Amino acid sequence: MARVNARYDFMSDNTAPAAPEAMQAVLDANRGFVPSYGDDPVTARAGDLVRGWLDVDADVRFVASGTAANALCLAALCRPFESVLAHAHAHLTVDETGAPGFFGHGLGIVALPGASGRLDGQALAEALARPQNGHVQSPAALSLTNATEYGAVYSAEAIGALIAPAKAKGYGVHLDGARLANAAAAGFDLKAIKGLGVDLLVVGGTKAGMPPSEAVVIFDRAIARRFDARLKQAGQLPSKGRFYAAPFIGMLQDGALLRHAAHANAMAKKLAALTPFPARHPVEANGLFVEMDEPTLKRLHDSGWFAYRFLDGTVRFMCSWATTAESVEALGEALKSIA
Amino acid sequence: MARVNARYDFMSDNTAPAAPEAMQAVLDANRGFVPSYGDDPVTARAGDLVRGWLDVDADVRFVASGTAANALCLAALCRPFESVLAHAHAHLTVDETGAPGFFGHGLGIVALPGASGRLDGQALAEALARPQNGHVQSPAALSLTNATEYGAVYSAEAIGALIAPAKAKGYGVHLDGARLANAAAAGFDLKAIKGLGVDLLVVGGTKAGMPPSEAVVIFDRAIARRFDARLKQAGQLPSKGRFYAAPFIGMLQDGALLRHAAHANAMAKKLAALTPFPARHPVEANGLFVEMDEPTLKRLHDSGWFAYRFLDGTVRFMCSWATTAESVEALGEALKSIA
Amino acid sequence: MARVNARYDFMSDNTAPAAPEAMQAVLDANRGFVPSYGDDPVTARAGDLVRGWLDVDADVRFVASGTAANALCLAALCRPFESVLAHAHAHLTVDETGAPGFFGHGLGIVALPGASGRLDGQALAEALARPQNGHVQSPAALSLTNATEYGAVYSAEAIGALIAPAKAKGYGVHLDGARLANAAAAGFDLKAIKGLGVDLLVVGGTKAGMPPSEAVVIFDRAIARRFDARLKQAGQLPSKGRFYAAPFIGMLQDGALLRHAAHANAMAKKLAALTPFPARHPVEANGLFVEMDEPTLKRLHDSGWFAYRFLDGTVRFMCSWATTAESVEALGEALKSIA
Amino acid sequence: MARVNARYDFMSDNTAPAAPEAMQAVLDANRGFVPSYGDDPVTARAGDLVRGWLDVDADVRFVASGTAANALCLAALCRPFESVLAHAHAHLTVDETGAPGFFGHGLGIVALPGASGRLDGQALAEALARPQNGHVQSPAALSLTNATEYGAVYSAEAIGALIAPAKAKGYGVHLDGARLANAAAAGFDLKAIKGLGVDLLVVGGTKAGMPPSEAVVIFDRAIARRFDARLKQAGQLPSKGRFYAAPFIGMLQDGALLRHAAHANAMAKKLAALTPFPARHPVEANGLFVEMDEPTLKRLHDSGWFAYRFLDGTVRFMCSWATTAESVEALGEALKSIA
């Protein structure tokens, strides 16, 4: 349970409230009677805005859960006796309680290495070259995350170089964009996605400053067939769809999404400049990962600032649209005092 | 896609916007940084309010999807080679795209009859008495819905009489309360639930006038163990939990939930009094089901009013917190003109 | 538990021992060291014999369980949010403990009517014409059984007439041939199957007089991809594959399979001629289904003869390769004495 | 496909034919009509023999597949959002195409280290001590294998020392006894199992020289409830059950099982004494694992002897009941010639 007076600003980018643009759009959408299950004008407009943002002609759905969205995408690309190639520290590999195997009826994940959450090309090549037989779950899909779990950002070229050999084997491609806005704000070219071979993309709204919402973008029209049934069965076809679509309207119609992401990224850089602890990953998006021993982390917690130790041993500080320069400075002071 | 100028007021109780009390609570909760995944003060307070509303000491979780909530409850009560006894026209039997089988890994549903969506006691007794063997999915749980899909309301005694023989066999009990507020407004005694043997209850927020939210109430403490892992894996442990908890605060703290439900029920009764078509089910909650032939329904649709033909052949009109007396009267006129 | 001196001859066609031709082939195959998992000469030869029997060029696998074979075929044709159109009394609908939903992760079965286990064409047409939406499990496959559960036999033309409209919708087709040999012995043209649009066929060995073995015939090469992984994951890729392949050699190499099936069919006809109880289904394969009230059935059981009351209320007597004319006559006498 | 004149004697212990005692018992059982699905005297007697062999009062089932048997046991012990603690190189971890996740609806495996396939106690303790939360699949069961995948044998004390801390946490215990006979022949005390806290044991028949058959021993009576339905749904309740029970009669009634296992173990020791390649694991059961570089392995294959390189890089030679001293000597010569 949350402690009194403790500060959760940097604990994650999902501890922040929703941004005013997103909330206003929800309030605007909350008028009159509209058809349910996404067959409403709010959802239609939000879909258009997502398509415009990415410059694509693709189906778009708005769902409540990024975990479910990722898992359903993998289930659409892999059969239970197949596997997904993904980073060993990807959110879906380690932080979703086995959701891919649940939604995918036992599908496997082949965990691959790579610095700062970016998949290592050589390791991917080796995984793709592995002999296949009936006794192992051979790969059927590649999953990438941009920005990565460790605050690094792939360029479109880097993603393309990873996707190409997977596509050459006929495999599907999923892109987890829980922090796609942060990647875009850091220079990732959103409009390049359509040429990269991505079949299914999840655009994160929640961590980007929306009330809970994620957009699933379906590039492959064959996968889109009966996708609503897939979502409904899995509890991801909201009856009051406008509540998940509206935040995307508020954040996309005037550029708030990228503007807020750029702010979050800038706050992470500012914090990196203030901390006396060495950064262990490039600060390209909205996270800072530092080296810190356990007694020091305890002192930080005791001083009221929450932060998690991550899977690679670093301590993580996440910034969001709501992070203020003042709180960065206050945390910077706290870090100096415990160093 | 929604048509211009068409009216969706009575298409379902999920076509309405969210009530102001719920939205205000969301806005109030949208302040500052709080821990994610339900470990926040908003979620704590909402849980207390639900417990108080039901006068129970039970675990409460807030989730995005009623379909998922129901299915996860059934999965908690039944193993894949077992089945749930439920009404043949229950939402989870016919309207959730097989979600119970998906979340429950193939668990079966034994569809039972009963007038106006209320389970027939004799049919239940026969199902419970059926010989069991390894070749069929024997029952492990009973699922009831109050108010029913056909706008009828069980009394606590009626529910108790159905639950008792299931409990005597050691089976679990799930109560789908998607319209529990309507049932309560119609006289169902909420505080009797705790004595009835219900293991898992889903309290509907969405159809009751909230933005998407449902409360799962876990009466059985053994089931509560690792329930967060169950929810997370299934995409139903929201990171920004306050958005699903806050609406319950807004609707419960001053009685809005029951007040709105009573209004919806009253609107259904008013409509029943105005329509020239014979009602085929008791109008106890917020729905009216009438006999209407296909050409007449088409004329209704052509006049701009949407309504569904239901599984039993009746045409359904649903009222909600947002239904106005004026729209009821306007629909009444339209019905007279096409009769 | 089996009673002393009770007679199980007609209880099912799986109460019989295995035929000598099948057992001899197992003994013949049980020599020397061979590669496991089906990569052995016994399996290769058995596959050739099955292909020759059906006059097809298709992949063949030998598995232990007909229940698993059927369920895996359905899982190959349907996704979890889709359904299979099948007879309401088909084995996979009512007698496999929900195996299709287990192997198919919640896939649904749309149960259709039809006299004597043959699917009614009009009911199928209506099911195919039903409007599709995201709230129901729309069909993706048709499953037929020949001979049917009630001892009737489809002609190739009759099967073709049912398959054509399903194929026209792009759906897959599964044929449960647990008693295919009996159908063939009754005149069904095996070599017509290849032209009918069947994607997956299960040829029953067990009920036809083999030790446990079923052959899965994969007509659609796209489905064949990674089928061994599908089987292995599901526990149906036997390490000592020759034990499941050899029986098919023994039964196919000199025509024993059809010869035995013809005998079983003849025994059913003989029994039909002797029984004083009216037959309720055509006696075309190896089963006889008669009208018999409960006290009479009890007298039959008390006299030592076991028989099941079936789902449609009739009492079933199954014949097999091992049924003797003497036992048919003895049962005939018993039936007369209790009539 | 198998090559002409190649030798598969040491490729695995499932390349051997079935032992004469097992085959004779099948022939003996193949008489008359008996009830199906395990309700027959053959199955009853085989169950008694297994109970006697282990000196336990437990339910016993005979199934076709060890993969399915293991996976169903894990599914009985773990829910989908939980995990099994198992050796990183256990058969179920790496060699069953993800069967545990398929039968267990996404349940996870926590892969632990340990020399020669024996679980490291310290690693287990650390896994048991790991903090639990809703974002990871926390353990609910421990799975051990005896003899291990690398031919090592646990003593009863060693197993007990691993089970105790898992039981202290309330977790279930599965013992994979695919080579339990080899372990017993090496000194493992079978009659100690009943005191160790094992909930579910799979006794391997196939690798021990039977035609395909595995015995599932259910020590926990609560788990035994509706176990036949669990098996049937999963395709592991054979209709002609006697074919899976009889081999256990043949192998247990006069001690053939242990006698053959002792022979296999002795052959492995004999081979170890002959090979010029260093053994990398203790030769306690029926396998020999040696260090051999890739060109040398290729020379071995070219000389007609098949052997697999295993997950830890060693090359594996498996002996069975059918391995002859002559073939061991011939292989020993071949190994010397390529060294």
How far apart are the C-alpha atoms of A157 and A142, rounded to whole Å? 16
Q: Is residue C279 within 8 Å of C288, Cβ to Cβ?
A: yes
pLDDT of D4 above 70: no
pLDDT of D171 above 60: yes
State the Cα torsion B286-B289-B294-B296 to the nearest 10°. -70
Mark yes or no for CB contact D233/B106 under 8 Å: yes
Per DSSP, helices labelled H in chain D are 20-29, 41-54, 66-77, 91-94, 99-103, 121-129, 156-168, 180-185, 221-224, 227-233, 242-252, 256-274, 294-302, 325-338
Chain A with chain C: Cβ pairs closer than 8 A: 65
CA quadruple B227, B231, B232, B234: dihedral sign = positive
Residues recorded for chain B: 339
How far apart are the C-alpha atoms of C152 and C183, rounded to whole Å? 8
Three-state SS at B317: strand
Work out the minimum CA distance from D97 to partner chain A, whole angstroms: 4
Mark yes or no for CB contact B102/C96 under 8 Å: no
Chains that touch A (3 or more CB pairs under 8 A): B, C, D
pLDDT value, residue D1:
45
Chains that touch C (3 or more CB pairs under 8 A): A, B, D
Mark yes or no for CB contact C82/A134 under 8 Å: no
Mark yes or no for CB contact A229/B23 under 8 Å: no
Q: Of A132, A134, A230, which has the smallest distance from its Cβ to C232's Cβ? A: A134
Q: Which residue matches tokens 């390490």? A: C239
Q: Of C95, C98, C136, which has the smallest distance from its Cβ to B108's Cβ? A: C98
Whole-number average pLDDT of chain C: 97
Q: Of D105, D134, D231, which has the smallest distance from its Cβ to B232's Cβ? A: D134
pLDDT band at B1 (very low <50, low <70, confident <90, very high): very low
Mark yes or no for CB contact C2/D30 under 8 Å: no
In chain B, residues with a C-beta closer than 8 Å to the C-beta of D62 are: none
pLDDT value, residue B281:
98
In chain A, residues with a C-beta closer than 8 Å to the C-beta of B18 are: 30, 240, 243
Nearest CA in chain A to C105: A105
In chain A, residues with a C-beta closer than 8 Å to the C-beta of C105 are: 80, 105
Residues A156-184, mean pLDDT to the nearest whole number = 98
Type of residue found at C69: A
How far apart are the C-alpha atoms of C128 and C139, rounded to whole Å? 8
As beta bridge partners, residue A316 has A289, A308
- List the single best residue of D14, D93, D97 to mutate versus A (max A Cβ within 10 A): D97
Mark yes or no for CB contact A134/C79 under 8 Å: no
- pTM of the entire predicted model: 0.97
pLDDT value, residue A136:
96
Three-state SS at A288: strand
Mark yes or no for CB contact B98/C137 under 8 Å: yes
Work out the minimum CA distance from D121 to partner chain C, whole angstroms: 29
Mark yes or no for CB contact D226/B82 under 8 Å: yes
Q: Is residue A192 within 8 Å of B60, Cβ to Cβ?
A: no
pLDDT tens figures, C147-179: 999 999 999 999 999 999 999 999 999 999 999
Work out the minimum CA distance from D122 to partner chain C, whole angstroms: 31
pLDDT tens figures, A42-85: 999 999 999 999 999 999 999 999 999 999 999 999 999 999 99
pLDDT value, residue C5:
66
In chain C, residues with a C-beta closer than 8 Å to the C-beta of B81 are: 97-98, 102
Encode burial over D246-267: b for 16+ CB neighbours within 10 A, e otherwise. Answer: bbbbbbbeeebbbbbbbbbbbb
Q: Is residue C217 within 8 Å of C58, Cβ to Cβ?
A: yes
pLDDT of B4 above 80: no
> A49: which 2 tokens?
């805005």
Nearest CA in chain D to A134: D97
Nearest CA in chain C to B138: C97
Q: Of C8, C99, C239, which has the smallest distance from its Cβ to D233's Cβ? A: C99
Mark yes or no for CB contact B103/A235 under 8 Å: yes
In chain A, residues with a C-beta closer than 8 Å to the C-beta of C101 are: none
pLDDT value, residue A262:
98
Mark yes or no for CB contact C105/B108 under 8 Å: no
Q: Locate the DSSP E strands across A206-329.
A: 214-218, 287-290, 308-309, 315-318
Q: Of D97, D103, D137, which has the smallest distance from its Cβ to A81's Cβ? A: D97
pLDDT of B112 above 70: yes
Chain A with chain B: Cβ pairs closer than 8 A: 162
Mark yes or no for CB contact B212/A243 under 8 Å: yes
pLDDT tens figures, C46-98: 999 999 999 999 999 999 999 999 999 999 999 999 999 999 999 999 999 99
Mark yes or no for CB contact D137/B229 under 8 Å: yes
Question: Which residues, 6 or more positions from C56, have their beta carbon under 8 angstroms from its beta carbon?
Answer: C193, C194, C217, C219
Mark yes or no for CB contact A101/D94 under 8 Å: no
Mark yes or no for CB contact C229/A134 under 8 Å: yes
pLDDT band at B6 (very low <50, low <70, confident <90, very high): confident
pLDDT band at A5 (very low <50, low <70, confident <90, very high): low
Nearest CA in chain D to C209: D240
In chain B, residues with a C-beta closer than 8 Å to the C-beta of A239 are: 12, 14, 66, 206-207, 212
DSSP state of C279: B
Q: Which residue matches tokens 């028989």? A: C307
Q: Which helix (H) or strand (E) holds D204?
A: strand D200-204
Mark yes or no for CB contact A229/C105 under 8 Å: no
Residue D275: alpha-carbon gap to chain centroid = 26
Mark yes or no for CB contact C81/A229 under 8 Å: yes
- Residue C13: which of C123, C129, C149, C142 has the closest Cα? C149
Three-state SS at C115: helix
Q: Of A99, A102, A137, which has the smallest distance from its Cβ to D97's Cβ? A: A137
* Three-state SS sequence of A226-250: CHHHHHHHCCCCCCCCHHHHHHHHH
Work out the minimum CA distance from D228 to partner chain B, whole angstroms: 5
Q: Is residue B9 within 8 Å of B331, Cβ to Cβ?
A: yes
Residue percentage of chain A with pLDDT more than 90: 98
Whole-number average pLDDT of chain A: 97
Whole-number average pLDDT of chain B: 97
pLDDT value, residue C6:
83
How far apart are the C-alpha atoms of D145 and D204, rounded to whole Å? 11
In chain A, residues with a C-beta closer than 8 Å to the C-beta of B26 are: 211
In chain B, residues with a C-beta closer than 8 Å to the C-beta of A9 are: 33
Q: Which helix (H) or strand (E) holds B164?
A: helix B156-168
- List the single best residue of D31, D37, D65, D227 to mutate versus C (max C Cβ within 10 A): D65
pLDDT of A1 above 50: no
- List the single best residue of B11, B83, B97, B311 to mutate versus C (max C Cβ within 10 A): B97
Q: Of C81, C230, C234, which has the smallest distance from its Cβ to A226's Cβ? A: C81
In chain B, residues with a C-beta closer than 8 Å to the C-beta of D82 are: 226, 229
Nearest CA in chain C to B91: C135
- Residue D212: which of D45, D9, D23 has the closest Cα? D23
